[in-house]
Amino acid sequence: MCIKPPKISNKSKLLSNDFGGLFNGSLINVLGKALIIPSSFLLIPILTRNLYAEEYGAWSLIISSIGLILPFSGMGLSSALSRYGPSSGLEELRNAFSTLFTLKVITHLIIAFLLILFRNEFGRVFFGEQATISIYVGIILLFAALEPLYKRIFKIRGRIIHFSLFEIWNNYSVIILAVVFATKGELFTFLKAFIVLKFLNIIILSFLIGKTFKILTVDTTIWKKYKNYGGYAAVISITFWVINSSDRFLLSAFKSLEDVGIYNAVYSIGHIPRTISALITFLLLVSLSKMYDSRQHDKVIKILFKAENLFIAIVIPIILGSALFSKDVVLFFSTERIAQFSSPNLFIITLSHFFLGIATFRSYPFLLKKQQKIPAVIWIIAMLLNIIVNLTLIPILGILGSSLATFLSYFFAFSCIMYFSRSKINYGYSFRLVIILTLSAAIANGVGLGVQKLFDFSIFILILIVGVVYAVLISSSIKQLILSN
């Protein structure tokens, strides 16, 4: 299927039914995400200023380890649930949840047991000689593995209020724990409280999901139906997380835990585009799966076109700002020591996640057609490229080497996915719109730079000024994008 992108016109109704219906339907989630996004940035200064750099590095390794293990252990079956679940009957959905829950519990009990049993070996190889970290990874993993499964059910069943309220609770409760327990030399006290929170989360999620979904059966037909799609999805998830997380382990091996902590702080700020793409794509797969399976292909194309351009419109000024105000931004969220490494790392990481975001949107044609082989091969090559570049550059350039490896990997994946997705569902792009957005972002950031030189405003005020100027400049173009048929 190859259809031209929709024309941008201002002759439409207030919101076209395709795009507006989807995102108005998830308004609660948008409001919830608006409350959640600040929590990610609140946690950075609390941990970087209250923990030693080495302790923050250890925390980064724990979170990275869990993120790296989950795709291996999940076998991509949860991703298959998001694709097949919306078109399934309630009974099949119950069986799928029960089957996946059981598999996750069994596999993660085994992994946790191995992490704890061979903690000295894992600590020596991956965690900077700290065997205790391996124990905490194993325990946290048991609870962290189940949360995504519950949340997928909320999305599929349209229980967005429950999902959003839980996300708000989960994110801000971590901040409260960090304020109370995260002090210099007390990382493990904070981790113990974090484990209690994860256990409490499973109880809350079990209560919210109600009696509809119970752990009663293991349905082998679910495995047979999901395994092909899930297998490719697992490969993609694993390779993505290797690219996203393995540099922390290599920095720990070649440099120090302090370097891991510094890099993770800059990376956490620079991955804003990924957060934005997650906000925009929150309900896309579930909603577009229903549309595509019911042969509403034109509507699918319009939504993808508008969603991607909305992402571009939001992220372009952030990319330019990360180049011009990198040190001020990092210093606002962390420490002077970390801010010394802000340039050019923040810009490189932000740009990397912009390309990752576009690759995410351009992957939907493969997801909808259930043809994941090509993306899997692309991400395997990107992962190998990432490992080679990291091994080559980290010993020489340290943190900058990690940033460059991330950029090269994501840009490679973006280029290949853009090329191959055209033969699946081609929703095109608006070069004119991108030029308008880029020029507007340059003008807005230029105004911010001028104001910074004239007045001693905080970076927060400068961001607001840049945002207001940019919003005024692009308002007409964005209105036409949203209103287009």
- Per the model's pLDDT, the better-predicted residue between 399 and 246 turns out to be 399
For 122, 141, 203, 246, 254, the CA distances from 130, given in Å and listed in that order, are 9, 18, 31, 17, 16
pLDDT at site 307: 85
* Domain contains 267: yes
**Given this model, what pLDDT does residue 76 score?**
64
In a domain, 369, yes or no: yes
Mean predicted lDDT score pLDDT of the chain: 80
Q: How confident is the model at residue 484 (pLDDT cuts 50, 70, 90)?
A: low
* pLDDT tens string 365-374: 887 777 778 8
Range of the domain at 217: 17-483
Residue 40 lies in a domain: yes
Confidence band of 390 (pLDDT split at 50, 70, 90):
very high
pLDDT band at 224 (very low <50, low <70, confident <90, very high): low
Least confident residue range of 15-29, 57-71, 152-166, 242-256 = 15-29
pLDDT at res. 78:
67
- At 17 the pLDDT is 44
Model confidence at 207, pLDDT cuts 50, 70, 90, reads confident
pLDDT at 12: 35
Note whether 423 and 364 are within 8 A (CB).
no
Strand, helix or coil for residue 55: helix
70 part of a folded domain? yes
The DSSP element (H or E) to which 20 belongs, if any, is helix 17-25
The CA-based dihedral angle spanning residues 138, 142, 144, 150, taken in that order and rounded to the nearest 10 degrees: 170
Measured over the CA atoms of residue 432, residue 439, residue 317 and residue 415, the dihedral's sign is positive
Q: Report residue 220: phi and psi, to 5°.
A: -65, -25
The overall pTM is greater than 0.85: no
pLDDT at 435 over 80: yes
352 domain residue, yes or no:
yes
pLDDT in tens, 265-279: 899 888 889 888 887
Is residue 11 included in any domain, yes or no? Answer: no
Q: Is the peptide bond before 344 cis (omega within 30 degrees of 0)?
A: yes
Has residue 175 been placed in a domain? Answer: yes
pLDDT at res. 54: 82
Residue 214: which H helix or E strand, with range? none
Report the domain count for the chain: 1
- pLDDT greater at residue 345 or residue 294: 345
pLDDT-based confidence at residue 44 (cuts at 50, 70, 90): confident
Asked if residue 446 is part of any domain, the answer here is yes
Calculate Rg over the CA atoms of the chain: 22
Could you tell me if residue 350 is left (phi over 0), alpha (psi between -120 and 50 degrees) or otherwise beta?
alpha
Q: What would the mean pLDDT of 13-33 be, rounded to a whole number?
A: 49
Confidence (pLDDT) at 4: 44
Least Cα distance to 76 among 95, 98, 103 occurs for 103
